[in-house]
């Protein structure tokens, strides 16, 4: 039997790569969803799972909704700190909340929110696997 995901928060450093920065000398807004996904992946790994194996076993989680507020530009070579937290969970929706900061000056760069859903191979919505939940659903 699989253990539940009891760890609900995780922090990772992210170094900004050269091509992630645009001609305004700022990380392009399309890059933040990639960072957020890295945060989710590492949060899952902290709980003893790796997303690749899940997906290879037919448990595909897809992003159904994305929200992001861009607070301040991040620059090339910045070493950012991404905090990923599990938000609300119900039978079919898994929310994550993200905060991206520059730890050297405490500046908030971006905040985000995603909703993941679980789909089968035909793309049909499924209940979330129980082990993804921090606590047993009542």
Q: Is 34 near a second copy (CB under 8 A)?
A: yes
Looking at beta carbons only, is 3 or 24 nearer to a second copy? 24
Is 66:114 a contact under the CB 8 Å cutoff? yes
Nearest residue to 69 via CA among 16, 17, 32, 21: 32
Q: Is 18 near a second copy (CB under 8 A)?
A: yes
Q: Which two tokens stand for residue 99?
A: 């905060």
Beta carbon of residue 91, minimum distance to a second copy (angstroms, whole number): 19
The C-alpha atoms of residue 29 and residue 121 are separated, in whole angstroms, by: 30
The C-alpha atoms of residue 14 and residue 77 are separated, in whole angstroms, by: 9
**Binders of a second copy in range 43-102 (CB under 8 A):** 50-52, 55, 60, 62-70, 72-73, 75-77
Looking at beta carbons only, is 49 or 138 nearer to a second copy? 49
Is 75:21 a contact under the CB 8 Å cutoff? yes
Q: Which residues contribute to the site for a second copy (CB under 8 A)?
A: 17-19, 21-26, 28-31, 33-34, 37-38, 41, 50-52, 55, 60, 62-70, 72-73, 75-77, 123
């Amino acid at each position: 039997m699989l253990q539940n995901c009891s760890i609900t928060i995780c922090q990772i450093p992210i170094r900004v790569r050269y091509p992630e920065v645009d001609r305004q000398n700022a990380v392009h807004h399309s890059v933040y969803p990639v960072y957020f996904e890295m945060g989710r992946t590492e949060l899952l790994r902290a709980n003893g799972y790796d997303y690749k194996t899940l997906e290879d076993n037919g448990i595909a989680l897809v992003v159904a909704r994305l929200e992001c507020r861009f607070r301040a530009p991040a620059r090339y070579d910045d070493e950012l700190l991404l905090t990923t937290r599990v938000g609300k969970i119900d039978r079919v929706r898994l929310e994550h909340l993200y905060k991206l900061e520059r730890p050297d000056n405490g500046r908030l760069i971006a905040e985000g929110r995603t909703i993941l859903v679980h789909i089968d191979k035909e793309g049909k919505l499924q209940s979330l696997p129980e082990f993804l939940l921090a606590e047993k659903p009542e």
